[in-house]
Amino acid sequence: MSAGHLLPTTEQALLRRIATEQSVKRVPSMAAAVVRDGQLLWSGARGRVDGAEPTADTQYRIGSITKTFVAVLVMRLRDEGKVVLNAPYDTYVPGTAFGGLTVAQLLSHTGGLTSESPGSWWERSPGNSWRDLAASVRAEELKHRPGRRFHYSNVGYGALGELVSRVRGTDWFDAVRTEILRPLGMTRTTPMPEKPHAEGWAVHPWADVVLPEPAHDAVAMAPAGQLWSTLNDLARWTGFVAGDTADVLHPDTVAEMREPAIVEDGDQWLGGFGLGLQLIRDRGRRLAGHTGSMPGFLAAVWADPEQASGAVVFANATTGPDVPGVAADLVDILATSEPRLPAEWTPLSEADPKLLELTGTWYWGPAARVVRLLPDGWLSITPVVPGGGRASRFRREADGTWTGLDGYYAGETLRVVRNAAGDVSHLDLATFVFTRTPYDPEAEIPGGVDPAGWQSARPFDGGRSCSC
């Protein structure tokens, strides 16, 4: 199956990658898709579901990809002013042993909370209520000092699902359906399977036989891994993670979710976690998304925001295939075989003269910087020589100031300072003064400017010379 928008050689390379994995790793079925600009470009499958090749509408259980939906709900509440990320969890759900952990720590798996719920293996057991889950998580289930390290916690996302329910006054999945799935047109993402769907299997390690895996309702732990979905739906979700957010979240908020909050693997920094999103660095790309694993199923979504592309991969096996690796390979095949064309340049239809006045060369001390007007009405400050200093973009605020969006100056305030005649005197960026000439004596340079001005170099030996 293919959407027919790629070269035949690219489609063959994509299909070969999943065909090899399905055959070598002995997977009952695999299904995959690649996405660009929010659209499914190609999908393919190997193996059988109910005697037929799975399609882009066949449901698979997506496991912990569920967490990304819960994280988006929490960020929506944050953007609405109803949840503060640095607030303790018990601000919203009192009465737990881990109530001192912040919402942000639960989102980023940095709270030190136990990875699995106490009792029997929750992924293969009927779920319990939130009351039972909260009572089972005692103080000793805090395994690490909060903030010390990355420690993946399924329990933390069960807790975040309860937070959403309390603040919204509705079941967490009802909030997912109303606030995310319907606006994005994702009609086949459900808490329990709906036909057509794959069955979950465990493959015998030493023989080509399979064993069915159970699929219970996880109840309080459901926000950690309950959902089922399709290639069609998760293709749209991949576009969302890459930045095509519709009205569900502001793109800046999703970009914030993609920022590394913690590095998972120490010095290598090949993997990490943001606010509800897994992050990997692969072949020079920074990918964001999530992997999923439940008995009988493996899944992965990786998005490349820089290229507005990504991949989705499903398998109905408990273990075996490297589904996250296959998804990353599909992203690479698309990027190398059919690179995305750069956006076509067009001139602005109009530009504020007061903003054009700010463009051009400025100096922080003797260091040259360039201010540019961006198409969205933002400004950028970049070094004249690439790599020669700090660079950031700035968004104008209602009071006439500008707020840094990235880099060193993220969150800092840029002020345009004018003289008595109304002309721009200098820029004040977090106390750093930028002037039109190096150390302009007419500007408010901290420490002042030597009245003698710029001078020729003085020999370090006081003018004496020597013959050698």
Residue in 432, 440, 398 with CA at minimum distance from that of residue 414? 432
- Residue 115 corresponds to which tokens in the numbers above? 């990875």
**Residue 468: per-residue pLDDT:** 45
Burial of 254 (0-12, 13-18, 19+ CB in 10 A): buried
Residue in 300, 275, 304 with CA at minimum distance from that of residue 288? 304
Q: Which residues contact 53 (CB under 8 A, 6 or more apart)?
A: 1, 29, 45, 46, 47
Q: How far apart are CA 397 and CA 157, in angstroms?
A: 35
Fold of 8-337: Beta-lactamase (3.40.710)
pTM: 0.89
Q: Which residues of the chain have pLDDT under 70?
A: 1-4, 266, 458-468
- Residue 287 corresponds to which tokens in the numbers above? 């990918």
Q: How far apart are CA 370 and CA 360, in angstroms?
A: 5
Helix pair angle (323-337, 8-24), 10° resolution: 160
Q: How far apart are CA 130 and CA 104, in angstroms?
A: 20
CA contacts within 13 A on the Cβ side of 193: 16
Q: Position of tokens 């000793």? A: 140
- Residue 328 corresponds to which tokens in the numbers above? 């990353």
Q: How far apart are CA 297 and CA 294, in angstroms?
A: 5
Asked if residue 383 lies in contact with residue 389, where contact means CB atoms within 8 angstroms, the answer is yes
- Residue 413 corresponds to which tokens in the numbers above? 């305030």
Q: What is the pLDDT of residues 379-402, one digit of tens each?
A: 999 999 877 788 999 999 999 999
Residue in 387, 415, 411, 389 with CA at minimum distance from that of residue 400? 415
Answer whether the bond into residue 196 is a cis peptide, omega within 30°.
yes
Residue in 256, 297, 298 with CA at minimum distance from that of residue 277? 256
For the chain, the structural domain boundaries read 8-337, 353-435
Q: How far apart are CA 49 and CA 29, in angstroms?
A: 7
Residue in 136, 131, 132, 94 with CA at minimum distance from that of residue 114? 136
3 state SS for the chain = CCCCCCCHHHHHHHHHHHHHHHHHCCCCEEEEEEEECCEEEEEEEEECECCECCCCCCEEECHHHHHHHHHHHHHHHHHCCCCCCCCEHHHCCCCCCCCCCEHHHHHHCCCCECCCCCCCCHHHCCCECHHHHHHHCCHHHECCCCCCCCCCCHHHHHHHHHHHHHHHCCCHHHHHHHHHHHHHCCCCCECCCCCCECCCEEECCCCCCEEECCCCCCECCHHHCCCEECHHHHHHHHHHHHCCCCCCCCHHHHHHHCCCCEECCHHHCCEEECCCCEEEEECCEEEEEEEEEECCEEEEEEEECCCCEEEEEEECCCCCCCHHHHHHHHHHHHHHHCCCCCCCCCCCCCCCHHHHCCCEEEEECCEEEEEEECCCCCEEEEECCCCCCCCEEEEECCCCCEEECCHHHCCCEEEEEECCCCCEEEEEECCEEEECCCCCCCCCCCCCCCCCCCCCCCCCCCCCCCCC
Q: How far apart are CA 420 and CA 404, in angstroms?
A: 27
Asked if residue 31 lies in contact with residue 344, where contact means CB atoms within 8 angstroms, the answer is no
Say what percent of the chain tops pLDDT 90: 82
**Residue 329: per-residue pLDDT:** 98
